[in-house]
Amino acid sequence: MPSAVDRQGRSVDAPLSSVKVLVPGDHSMVALLGARDELLKQIEKAFDAEIHVRGNEITISGEAAEVERAAKLFEELVIILERGQSLDAGLVRQTVRMLKDDAGERPSQVLSEALLTHRGRTIRPKTLGQKRYLDAIRTNTVTFGIGPAGTGKTYLAMGAAVQALRAKQVNRLILTRPAVEAGERLGFLPGTLTEKIDPYLKPLWDALMDMMEAEELAAHVDRGTIEVAPLAYMRGRAQPVGTPVLTPDGFRPIGELRVGDLVFGSDGTPTHVLGVFPQGRKDVYRVTAQDGASTLACGEHLWTVWTRADRRRSKAGRTLETREMIGNLRAAHARRYELPVVAPVAFPAQDVPMDPYALGLVLGNGCITGSTTPTFSTEDTELADALEEAFDDVEVRWKGGPDYVLDRAGRPRGGIIVENPVTRALRELELWGTSSRTKFVPTAYLQNTVEVRLGVLQGLLDTDGGPVSQRGRTCRIQYTTVSPQLRDDVVFLVRSLGGVAYWRTRHAEGRTPGRAHGRSVPYRSDAFVLDIRLPQQLEPFRLERKRATYRAHGGGRPMRFIDAIEPAGEAETVCIQVAAADSLYVTEDFLVTHNTLNDAFIVLDEAQNTTAEQMKMFLTRIGFNSKAVVTGDISQVDLPSGRKSGLRVVRDILLDIEGVAFAHLSAGDVVRHHIVQRIVEAYEAHALANEPAEGSDRDDR
């Protein structure tokens, strides 16, 4: 049998209660109840109870449950005031909502948490949904904030980003949104390209202006610490399509790479290509290191670098765009930015017809012109012995002075002529018949294991190279050749082993002639002198006297610095995403670079207007120690008909991935004018009432 109710709609059978709330005397009742009791009137409308105020005492009468909630409300409001926060209609409305919903969290804890303070104004969550959204941002790598307009999705994400930048949790902010053309193509809109796209980005600029001074914002933008750009521009960390990238099969143009291909990472091991994104024509720059290595990249391309201060503090380095470093390459007279050096590259093993060390010795001091039996010249019998040990069927026979002949072992006089094993191997490698000016290292040795490449280099350095020691400095390695191709091959070997090689030309013309057998002998060829640094774990010499000198002085550390960045015109460009943990890959001249956003806080706003392909591109660009927040309202998709929103499909794909969170905000989290909240609620109710039956046709954008 239903209960009777009184004229106020209360059950006459419900137990009545009365509670008195005493407000501490140091609190103004005006601050609690509002000017002209505006907040008190709002509270009276929210609860089915009688509220009387006398001095600092508030008496609440009515049904026990309502009285308890109203008393709890005043207690929470007093705590909020004690924490220095002022009350307004919106805060009271949200406090009432939380108490009536019995959310399990105290409104005073949720609504008084400060995110950021600027010019005396504090940015904080104003609803329980917003608080949970911020908690998700703090604890996850990728957070999707989904909800209607006015719920603070973008504003709170921007606040979290600025807070992370100021706390030095990240090195840069990337703020982006898709530029969707509402009925007009950008090309027909008036103004420059910047003027055409600025309206799409204005909400992001407005939010930043609310959170920092104009001078601070301008300084961050000038340095590239804060970047605000349309989504298509944000992804443009690119290199020209013809730029070589190191793969297990050697260098290949970046434009030929496809998803699933292997490239080398900074650790010298292969890593998969996860994405390939054409970028169109862009202005490109030539980035040159002090050792002469260089590559092309666009102005937004990313580089991992260290300054001297970073090294002193043992920091992990920083990520900068090409354009950020232009005009800032020197600190006093020293180069400012040090690049990472690749670890020894692990090319796959290949069979070779000659021992690598023996090949290096023959290339250094061997005569393989084809006019005579192969010979070898050295004053170090240790090298002649090593050469003989490298062949099972070759005898290194002393001819006189420093000269040795490489004969087939046990060669009988007369009878059938059997090809010399050294000659046979050199023919197979296409080295037989080369002179000192045309010698080279065959590709099978250049693109082979670390042991093979190091063996060839040791043979070359034991013959035509050596340690150079200077007082008070570590020992460098010097190598000389008159063959331009051999020069380039030695540079390749050194760089592929994680070293650094410089070279200079000693011109034959004008040089003082040398002396041989008491007479002058003019130089006939230019000589190329290489200065080399190798990683400490690699031994450059096997010859004992050279090895002892090198060990006595130490070899130092290979270092690479950016020396110049110069405009190089325009080119068709592409960017790639790799699976390496540090997002680095090896480009031409063994330079280490990357184009993924490390140490960054990235906000993608209006994400409902991204396509599924754009959403994948964005998410796969997130780098090491980065955080991303994606915001959008799936009820306001502006994509052309037939294009599916990336925000709609991403939940089904990523829902169960650890580190990815979906925060859903509702009409109750709207913090604009209360009429906006009611409008949103009305639309949600209408959409729910008119939702198509399961299986019916609908627009699934």
Q: How far is CA 288 from CA 65, 337, 342, 591, 662, in A?
A: 75, 12, 16, 10, 44
Tell me if 343 sits within 8 A of 267, measured CB to CB.
yes
249 and 379 within one domain: no
298 plus 404 within the same structural domain:
no
Which band of pLDDT confidence, cut at 50, 70 and 90, is reported for residue 207? confident
> Does the pLDDT of residue 257 top 60, yes or no?
yes
The pLDDT-based confidence of 185 (bands split at 50, 70, 90) is very low
**What is the token pair recorded at 534?**
């190798």
Tens of pLDDT along 374-402?
Answer: 999 999 999 999 999 998 888 999 998 89
Q: Which residues of 52-82 are buried (b: 16+ CB within 10 A; e: fewer)?
A: eeeeeebebbbbeebbbbbbbbbebbbbbbe
pLDDT digits over 293-340, tens only? Answer: 999 999 888 888 888 888 877 766 777 889 889 989 998 889 999 999
Of the segments 41-55, 56-70, 540-554, which one has the largest average pLDDT value?
A: 540-554
Q: Residue 36: count other Cβ atoms within 10 Å of its Cβ.
A: 9
Q: Is the pLDDT of residue 697 over 60?
A: no
- Note the pLDDT tens digit of each residue in 576-613: 888 887 788 999 999 999 766 667 899 999 888 888 88
pLDDT at site 26: 61
**Are residues 304 and 394 part of one domain?**
no
- Give the end of a domain, one of 558, 586, 616: 558
> Is there a single domain that holds both residue 402 and residue 526?
yes
Flag whether pLDDT at 623 surpasses 50.
yes
Q: Write down the pLDDT at residue 228.
A: 79
Domain with 22 in it: what CATH number?
Answer: 3.30.1370.10
pLDDT of 186: 47
Contact 468, 475 (CB under 8 A): yes
Answer yes or no: do 97 and 52 share one domain: yes
- Residue 699: inside a domain: no
Question: Does 428 share its domain with 542?
Answer: yes
The yes-or-no verdict on residue 625 having pLDDT over 90 is: no
137-151, 225-239, 460-474: range with lowest mean pLDDT? 225-239
Better-scored residue on pLDDT, 202 or 162: 162
Q: Which domain holds residue 48?
A: 16-112
The tally of domains found in the chain comes to 4
pLDDT band for position 7 (cuts 50, 70, 90):
very low
**Residue 219: inside a domain:** yes
**At a CB cut-off of 8 Å and minimum separation 6, what does 339 contact?**
289, 303, 304, 305, 560, 561, 562, 591, 592
Instruction: Out of 83, 112, 141, pick the residue that ends a domain.
Output: 112
Burial annotation 672-687 (CB, 10 A radius, 16+ → b, else e): eeeebbebbeeeeeee
Residue 664 pLDDT > 60, yes or no? yes
**Where residue 449 sits, what CATH number does that domain have?**
3.10.28.10
CATH code where residue 291 lies: 2.170.16.10
Whether 131 has a pLDDT exceeding 80, the answer reads yes
pLDDT tens digits, 398-452: 998 899 999 887 665 555 556 889 999 999 999 999 999 999 999 999 999 999 9
Mean pLDDT for 666-681 is 70
Is 604 a member of any domain? Answer: yes
Tell me, what's the pLDDT at 329? 93
Residues 430 and 522 grouped into a single domain? yes
With 60 as the cut, is the pLDDT of residue 660 above it?
Answer: yes
Looking at the structure, tell me whether residues 372 and 272 fall in a common domain.
no
486, 387: one domain: yes
How many angstroms separate the CA atoms of 439 and 31, rounded? Answer: 90
The pLDDT of residue 589:
96
Residue-wise pLDDT for 16-32, tens only, equals 788 888 888 666 788 88
Q: 86 and 197: one domain?
A: no
Do 250 and 185 reside in the same domain of the chain? no
Whole-number mean pLDDT of the chain? Answer: 84
Q: How confident is the model at residue 558 (pLDDT cuts 50, 70, 90)?
A: very high
In which band, very low, low, confident or very high, does the pLDDT at 227 lie, cut at 50, 70 and 90?
Answer: confident
Report residue 457's pLDDT band, with 50, 70 and 90 as the boundaries.
Answer: very high
> Are 291 and 390 in the same domain?
no
Can you tell me the mean pLDDT for 525-550?
A: 94
Task: Please report whether residue 695 resides in a domain.
Answer: no
Domain boundary among 558, 582, 612: 558
Lowest mean pLDDT among 29-38, 99-108, 206-215: 99-108
